[in-house]
């Protein structure tokens, strides 16, 4: 959790110092996303889970093993960025060996793509499931309804864990400006999809809820809808300032206090964890600063698979 | 000889059996109907989807991400427009991930006028499609190419949009598909579903063989020396007809079928224009920012001093729709006489 937060705060500093262009990310989602990342069956086949994440999913990937330097390279759009090669925004990851579908900016499209990986997994059998996540405001898009409809067809229910991470905002539009439903997960009921709401700022409750949901999807090969209510701690993005929002619950503080109260860790030890990751992030930034940007010629790479020519000038 | 719809069906069967196609899906694509144009009857892996175009394209993309081969159908291209951003993403996923996620998927959709389809069964999509970098775009104009292009699409590692000219789906080819029985009746009895109850019917597929039309390769349909006509899809046979008519008056017109819109066979087009020094591009999508304008640009940039008459485009009028009444339809998109007249003018122009 700390690693992900430190990475995000480093990315924000990179943005603010003019070394990166745009920041959007997931501080405030760690209590839910880290358990999610740890519970994922990680790998590259249909027996492993498929992930359709969004731009706030950094804690999921950090929990899966993403190194901070990879987030920094992406932020700095360097040639060494192994997710997009300097092409996409920060936190828009793509990891083939972990079945992490390329994260893309258009809101909600991941919910209709998730159907496809779930169709493949359903046919394949085994335990692999598809996990899709996004924000609350995006659920107004048709793709969200597509996911509910296709996942719950009695002829072929799909093994999809449908998540919504509700931070009560869509940029500046408040929850009540869009949602008549009390909980977004209420929509699952109409489709006979099992659902639950969890306090996504609570690590233990999140772990429990995700485990239960995953077990159900893995074994029943049917969809499950889990809504997590959580915080958005640095506002929407760098476009809205990316400054710390003090009046929302900070799940890291909550979790640390709890661990201290239970005598599982000391304040000093916690500080040490933060200091170590801070030092690592600075070291990583220094490394990244020495790395090159992509070349202008690289724009034609991988328009098609295997970089088959796509430039009409050469047809 | 197979018609275009039968050729598509046979290619899909070949794909299921030999190319690892696991899913052929779309609205009414599976049993009992097998597609509104019967192009997916009797196949093993077809299924019906919800009436949700975004879901269909999204599903195809998810399957492609998992590298599971599929062919998805949008019932009419008139209804593909609400998937435009998904098509953009399908085209940029390989690029965005610097090659990590190629997107092997085929989307087929009927296009164009010619069946009195009025406003919402007559749209074209080729001009739009060519604005989707990362996709390959193909459009057959006869049964053999319909078969060979679809096989290439199903083998390709990239998203391929397979545009089916509605007006030609019932037209029979004049070349046999490899493995196709000689007799029309024999083929029909083997692979066309009976009317009425089909629950017990099973097709008896002929032993089909691999036949690919390479994507990016056009075809010289008629050799000529005085002018070049470049087309594809519904208007292609009309161009051949026009050239044949003009031949009776002693005129020699070369007709090229692009077959692939992107990537496209510029070497074929260029060689022909260099020979004839006159060119007309024909298609039926609306004329403003039409794909032919790109080809015209290239013609001008690369052969400004070669051509000896103004290069021309004949395309659909820039209208919001195609009206139902045949008079309206025929006034909106190129017909045989329009093509003949345009070629005649091209031939008559003196520099
Ligand atoms: C289709 C689409 N429309 C609009 C936008 C611009 N946009 C980016 S984020 C956002 C709000 C998303 O809110 P929500 O789904 O609640 O997710 P959150 O950012 O709060 O996690 C909008 C409108 C977009 N990226 N994509």
pLDDT tens for residues A182-212? 999 999 999 999 999 999 999 999 999 999 9
Q: Is B121 one of the annotated active-site residues of the chain?
A: yes
Least CB-CB distance to A115: which of B62, B93, B103?
A: B62
Q: Which of B78, B107, B84 is nearest to A106 (CA)?
A: B84
> Which residues, at least 6 apart from B193, have a Cβ–Cβ distance to it below 8 Å?
B34, B38, B41, B42, B201, B203
Contact residues on chain A for B106, CB-CB shorter than 8 A: none
A179 Cβ inside 6 Å of ligand 1: no
* CATH superfamily membership of A2-289: Thiamin diphosphate (ThDP)-binding fold, Pyr/PP domains (3.40.50.970)
Quote the ligand 1 centre to B123 CA distance (angstroms).
32
The answer on B150 and B11 residing in a single domain is yes
pLDDT for A26 equals 97
How many domains does chain B contain in total? 2
Q: Nearest-CA distance from B251 to chain A in Å?
A: 30
The answer on B278 and B167 residing in a single domain is no
Query: Chain B, 253-282: which have a CB under 8 Å from a chain A CB?
Result: 262-267
CATH (domain of B52): 3.40.50.970
Q: What is the mean pLDDT of residues B237-261?
A: 98
Residue with CA closest to ligand 1 atom 9 = A171
Strand B136-138 and strand B69-73: pairing? Answer: unpaired
pLDDT at B351 over 90: no
The answer on B312 and B255 residing in a single domain is yes
Q: B58 and A116: CB-CB below 8 Å? A: yes
The answer on B234 and B111 residing in a single domain is no
User: Which is more confident, B173 or B65?
Assistant: B65
The answer on B270 and B171 residing in a single domain is no
Q: With pLDDT > 90 as the criterion, what percentage of chain B qualifies? A: 97
pTM: 0.98
Q: Nearest-CA distance from A113 to chain B in Å?
A: 4
Structural domain spans, chain A: 2-289
Letter string b/e over residues B66-86, b meaning 16 or more CB atoms within 10 A of that residue's CB: bbbbbbbbbbbbbbbeebeeb
Quote the ligand 1 centre to A137 CA distance (angstroms).
7
Q: How large is the ipTM? A: 0.98
Residue with CA closest to ligand 1 atom 20 = A170
A167 Cβ inside 6 Å of ligand 1: yes
Quote the ligand 1 centre to A254 CA distance (angstroms).
27
Helix (H, G, I), strand (E, B) or coil at B185: helix
Phi-psi region of A129 (alpha: psi -120 to 50; beta: other; left: phi over 0): beta
For residue B214, tell me if it sits in a domain: no
pLDDT in tens, A42-53: 999 999 999 999
pLDDT in tens, B39-55: 999 999 999 999 999 99
Q: Is B53 one of the annotated active-site residues of the chain?
A: yes
Whether the upstream peptide bond of residue B294 has omega within 30° of 0, thus cis, is no
Q: Which of A281, A273, A249 is nearest to A12 (CA)?
A: A281
For residue B164, tell me if it sits in a domain: yes
State the DSSP H helix or E strand holding residue B91, giving kind and residue range, or none if neither: helix B84-96
Q: What is the mean pLDDT of residues A229-233?
A: 98
Give all strands of the β-sheet with A224-229 in edge-to-edge order. Answer: A50-52, A130-132, A160-166, A224-229, A194-199
Phi-psi region of A73 (alpha: psi -120 to 50; beta: other; left: phi over 0): alpha
A107 Cβ inside 6 Å of ligand 1: yes
The answer on B250 and B186 residing in a single domain is no
Q: Which of B303, B250, B244 is nearest to B279 (CA)?
A: B303
pLDDT at B82 over 90: yes
Q: What is the mean pLDDT of residues B219-232?
A: 98
The answer on B166 and B18 residing in a single domain is yes
Q: Which of B13, B73, B121, B342 is catalytic?
A: B121
What is the DSSP secondary structure assignment for residue B28, as one 8-state letter?
Answer: T
A160 Cβ inside 6 Å of ligand 1: no
Q: What is the mean pLDDT of residues A9-20?
A: 97
Quote the ligand 1 centre to A42 CA distance (angstroms).
27
A136 Cβ inside 6 Å of ligand 1: yes
The answer on B240 and B132 residing in a single domain is no
Q: How far apart are CA A239 and CA A219, in angstroms?
A: 43
Contact residues on chain A for B58, CB-CB shorter than 8 A: 109, 111-116, 143, 146
Q: What is the mean pLDDT of residues B95-117?
A: 97
Q: At what angle do helices A251-261 and A267-289 cross, to 10 degrees?
A: 140
Q: Which residue of A has its CA nearest to B217?
A: A315
pLDDT for A15 equals 98
Q: How far apart are CA B279 and CA B296, in angstroms?
A: 9
For residue B205, tell me if it sits in a domain: no
For the beta carbon of residue B114, count every other beta carbon within 10 angstroms: 20
Q: C-alpha angle with apex B266: B261 to B268, nearest 5 degrees?
A: 110
Least CB-CB distance to A304: which of B62, B101, B158?
A: B158
Q: B62 and A102: CB-CB below 8 Å? A: no
Quote the ligand 1 centre to A139 CA distance (angstroms).
10
Q: How far apart are CA A281 and CA A298, in angstroms?
A: 28
Tokens representing A252 are: 């890291």
pLDDT for A187 equals 97
Last residue of some domain: B191, B209, B227? B191
A164 Cβ inside 6 Å of ligand 1: no
For residue B176, tell me if it sits in a domain: yes
For residue B202, tell me if it sits in a domain: no
Least CB-CB distance to B158: which of A46, A104, A305?
A: A305
CA distance to A262, B140, B274, B285, per residue, from B234 (Å): 75, 9, 26, 11
Residue B346, Cα to own-chain centre: how many angstroms?
26
Q: How far apart are CA B168 and CA B312, in angstroms?
A: 25
Q: What is the mean pLDDT of residues A252-262?
A: 98
Strand A130-132 and strand A160-166: pairing? Answer: parallel
Write out the residue range of the structural domain in which residue B94 sits.
4-191
For residue B197, tell me if it sits in a domain: no
Last residue of some domain: B141, B176, B191? B191
CATH (domain of B252): 3.40.50.920
pLDDT in tens, A114-132: 999 999 999 999 999 999 9
Q: Judge whether B223 is closer than 8 Å to chain A, CB to CB.
A: no
Q: Which of B13, B16, B53, B180 is catalytic?
A: B53
């Amino acid at each position: 959790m700390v690693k992900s937060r430190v990475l995000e705060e480093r990315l924000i500093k990179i943005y603010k110092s003019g070394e990166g262009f745009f920041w959007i990310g997931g501080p405030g989602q760690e209590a839910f996303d880290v358990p999610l990342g740890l519970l994922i069956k990680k790998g590259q086949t249909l027996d492993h889970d498929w992930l359709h994440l969004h731009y706030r999913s950094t804690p999921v990937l950090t929990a899966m093993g993403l190194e901070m330097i990879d987030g920094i390279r992406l932020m700095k759009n360097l040639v060494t960025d192994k997710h997009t090669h300097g092409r996409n925004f920060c936190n828009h990851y793509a990891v083939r060996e972990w079945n992490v579908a390329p994260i893309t900016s258009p809101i909600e499209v991941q919910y209709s793509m998730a159907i496809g990986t779930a169709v493949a997994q359903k046919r394949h059998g085994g335990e692999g499931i598809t996990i899709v996540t996004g924000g609350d405001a995006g659920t107004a898009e048709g793709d969200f309804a597509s996911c509910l409809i296709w996942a719950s067809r009695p002829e072929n229910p799909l093994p999809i864990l449908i998540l919504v991470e509700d931070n009560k905002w869509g940029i500046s539009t408040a929850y009540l400006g869009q949602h008549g439903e009390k909980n977004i997960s209420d929509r699952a009921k109409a489709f006979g999809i099992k659902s639950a709401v969890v306090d996504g700022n609570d690590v233990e409750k999140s772990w429990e809820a995700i485990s239960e949901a995953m077990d159900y999807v893995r074994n029943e090969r049917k969809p499950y809808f889990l809504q997590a209510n959580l915080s958005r701690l640095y506002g929407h993005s760098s476009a809205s300032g990316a400054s710390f929002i003090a009046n929302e619950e900070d799940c890291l503080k909550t979790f640390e206090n709890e661990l201290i109260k239970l005598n599982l860790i000391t304040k000093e030890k916690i500080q040490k964890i933060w200091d170590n990751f801070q030092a690592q992030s600075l070291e990583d930034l220094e490394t990244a600063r020495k790395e090159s940007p992509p070349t202008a010629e690289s724009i034609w790479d991988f328009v098609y698979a295997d970089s088959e020519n796509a430039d009409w000038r050469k047809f | 000889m197979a018609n275009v719809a039968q050729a598509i069906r046979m290619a899909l069967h070949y794909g299921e059996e030999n190319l690892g196609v696991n899913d052929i899906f779309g609205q009414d694509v599976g049993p009992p109907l097998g597609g509104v144009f019967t192009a997916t009857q009797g196949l093993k892996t077809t299924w019906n989807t919800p009436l949700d175009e975004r879901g269909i394209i999204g599903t195809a993309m998810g399957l492609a991400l998992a590298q599971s081969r599929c062919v998805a159908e949008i019932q009419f291209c008139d209804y593909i427009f609400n998937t435009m951003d998904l098509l953009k993403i399908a085209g940029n996923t390989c690029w965005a991930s610097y090659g990590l996620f190629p997107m092997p998927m085929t989307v087929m959709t009927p296009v164009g006028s010619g069946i009195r389809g009025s406003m919402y069964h007559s749209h074209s999509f080729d001009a739009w499609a060519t604005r989707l970098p990362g996709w390959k775009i193909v459009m057959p104009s006869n049964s053999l190419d319909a078969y060979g292009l679809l096989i290439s699409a199903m083998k390709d590692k990239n998203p391929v949009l397979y545009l089916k000219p509605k007006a030609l789906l019932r037209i029979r080819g004049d070349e046999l598909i490899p493995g196709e029985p000689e007799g029309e009746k024999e083929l029909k009895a083997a692979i066309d579903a009976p009317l009425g109850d089909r629950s017990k019917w099973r097709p008896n597929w002929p032993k089909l063989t691999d036949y690919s039309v390479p994507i990016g390769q056009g075809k010289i349909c008629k050799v000529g020396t005085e002018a070049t006509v470049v087309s594809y899809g519904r208007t292609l046979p009309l161009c051949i007809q026009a050239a044949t008519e003009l031949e009776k008056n002693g005129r020699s017109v070369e007709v090229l079928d692009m077959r692939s819109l992107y990537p496209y066979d510029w070497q074929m087009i260029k060689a022909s224009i260099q020979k004839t020094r006159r060119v007309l591009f024909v298609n039926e999508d609306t004329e403003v920012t039409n794909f032919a304008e790109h080809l015209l640009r290239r013609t001008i940039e690369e052969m400004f001093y070669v051509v000896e008459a103004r290069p021309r485009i004949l395309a659909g009028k820039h209208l919001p729709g195609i009206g139902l009444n045949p008079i309206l339809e025929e006034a909106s998109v190129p017909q045989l006489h329009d093509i003949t007249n345009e070629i005649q003018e091209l031939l008559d122009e003196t520099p």
